[in-house]
Structure 1
Amino acid sequence: MHAVPARFPDDPPGDALAALRGATRAHHDRVDRLVDLPRMQDRDHYTRVLQVLDAFLAGWEPVVAAALGARWQPWLQARSRRAFLRQDLRELGAAPDAPARMPALAGGAAAWGSVYVMEGSALGGQFIARHLSHTGAEGRSAGSYFRGWGEATGGMWRDVRGLLAQELDTPERIAQACDAARETFDTLAHLLEGTLHERTPAA
C-alpha cells in the first residue's frame, strides 16, 4: 500500500533516494502484508485500514510540521490527504479513530525521511485505486484517499524527489532520514496490527 515507487529515469543524482529505498524495503513490505491488497475488496477490512490511516495522519501531520518548521507548513498543508480519508469514512458510515501517538522527529533530516514514506504512499495509492476500481470493490465509491491527487501525483512526487536530494545532502542527514523512515513504517505497522488483530514478522 505504501509502495516505494519504482526508480524513475530522472531520479536526482546522489544517494539519498536510493538509501531510503534500501533502508525501508523490508519495513514497507511489512505494511503491505498487513494491508493485504486482495482483502481490500472486503468492506470491513477496507474500512479498518482507512481508520488506521486517518488516525496515523492525524498524529503524524503535526509532528512532521513541528520538525520542519514554519517555512514548510504551507507546503505540507497543501499536500495533506486527510480530507480525502474523512470523505471516504463518511461514505462508509464509519467514525474516525482518535489520533495516533507518534514518536517525535529529531530535526529536519528525520522529518524528510518520514515525508518520503507518506509522499511515496501517494504513488502506491494510485495502484490500489486502479486495482479496486477494476474489481468493483469499495475503492470505486469510497476511494478518494487512494486516488488522491490523480494525474498530478507524478509531478508532486518529482517535486519531493528534488527536495530530498536538496535537504539530505550529507551522509549524516541521510542516515537520520533513513532511521526516521523506518520508524514511520514501523509505527504504521503497529497501528495496523492492533486494529486488524494480525501479526507480521518484524523488519
Structure 2
Amino acid sequence: MVSEYLKQNTAEFHDAAEKLFSSQKIFNKTFTLEDYKKIINTNYLMLLHSENKIFSTLSDKFSDKLHLNKRAKLPLIEKDLASLALKNQTASHDFEVNNENEALGAMYVIEGSTLGGNVIAKQLSKTEGFDDVTFNFFGCYQENTGVMWKNFKEVLDNEVAEENYSEVLSGAKKLYTFLLSVN
C-alpha cells in the first residue's frame, strides 16, 4: 500500500517538521501565539505555492474521487493570516510537480498536516492565550477529519500502482523539503 510506503519513507521529514514547529510545546502547553504564527505562516507559504499546482495536475478522476472541491485549504489559511494580522508573502523559491503521481505525494503531506492540525487545534483551544484563535486551517474538516483522511488513503492505495510508488514518494519529499526551507 502506497500510504504505508509513504509513512515509512517520509518519517524523517515528518519528525523534522514537528521539530521545526516546536510541536512538543503544544502538548505541554508552552506553545505561544508567536509559535502558532510561525506554523500558520509556513503552512500558508506551502499552500500558496503548491495547492493550485497539485489540484491542476490531478485528472478529473482524482478530482472526483478525492472531492478536491472540499479540500481547498488556501482560502482558510488566508483567513487565519488575516485574523493573526500576518502579511501575505511569497517564498524565496518555487515548488514544482512533474506529474500526477508527484501531485498525489505532495497532497499526502498536506492531508497529513490536516490530520495533525485537527489534534493541534483541539489542544491549543485548551491552552491559555488561544481563546480568540479561530483555527480555520487546522480545523478545516471539523468532525469529518477522519473520514476525509480515510477517503484520501483509500483512493491513494487503490489507484496508485506499485511501479509508481517512487514518483509519489518524490512528490511528498519535494513538498516536505519546500515546507522545511520556506521559513
Q: 1:90 aligns with which of 82, 90, 104?
A: 82
Cα offset, 1:101, TM superposition: 4.2
Give distance in 1, aligned partners of 2:151 and 2:125: 27
The aligned counterpart of 2:20 is 34
- Pairwise CA RMSD: 2.1
Give distance in 1, aligned partners of 2:75 and 2:45: 12
Cα offset, 1:144, TM superposition: 1.8
Q: Indicate yes or no: 2:105 matched with 1:119.
A: no
Give distance in 1, aligned partners of 2:33 and 2:12: 27
Give distance in 2, aligned partners of 1:85 and 1:100: 19
Cα separation, partners in 2 of 1:139 and 1:106, compared to 1, 3 Å: farther
- Between stretches 178-187 and 74-83, larger displacement belongs to 74-83
Give distance in 1, aligned partners of 2:74 and 2:131: 16
Q: 1:169 aligns with which of 156, 161, 164?
A: 161
Percent identity of paired positions between Structure 1 and Structure 2 = 23
Q: Scaled by the length of structure 1, what TM-score is found?
A: 0.78
Q: 2:145 aligns with which of 144, 150, 153?
A: 153
Q: Indicate yes or no: 2:66 matched with 1:80.
A: no
Q: Indicate yes or no: 2:34 matched with 1:44.
A: yes
Q: Scaled by the length of structure 2, what TM-score is found?
A: 0.86
Cα offset, 1:190, TM superposition: 0.6
Cα offset, 1:36, TM superposition: 0.8
Cα offset, 1:137, TM superposition: 3.5
Spell out, residue by residue over 1:111-161, the C-alpha distance to the aligned partner (whole angstroms, 9 max, x if none).
111111111111100111111112133375232211121111111111101
Cα offset, 1:73, TM superposition: 4.9
Give distance in 1, aligned partners of 2:47 and 2:124: 22
**What is the total number of aligned residue pairs between the two structures?**
177
1:137 is aligned with what amino acid? G
The aligned counterpart of 2:53 is 63
1:164 is aligned with what amino acid? L
1:64 is aligned with what amino acid? I
Spell out, residue by residue over 1:15-61, the C-alpha distance to the aligned partner (whole angstroms, 9 max, x if none).
21111001100011101100112177322232132122112101101
Q: 2:95 aligns with which of 76, 97, 103?
A: 103
The aligned counterpart of 1:190 is 181
SS of structure 1 residue aligned to 2:10: helix
Gaps in structure 1 of 5+ consecutive residues: 1-14, 196-203
Gaps in structure 2 of 5+ consecutive residues: none
Give distance in 2, aligned partners of 1:87 and 1:65: 20
Give distance in 2, aligned partners of 1:112 and 1:100: 24
SS of structure 1 residue aligned to 2:180: helix
Cα offset, 1:180, TM superposition: 1.4
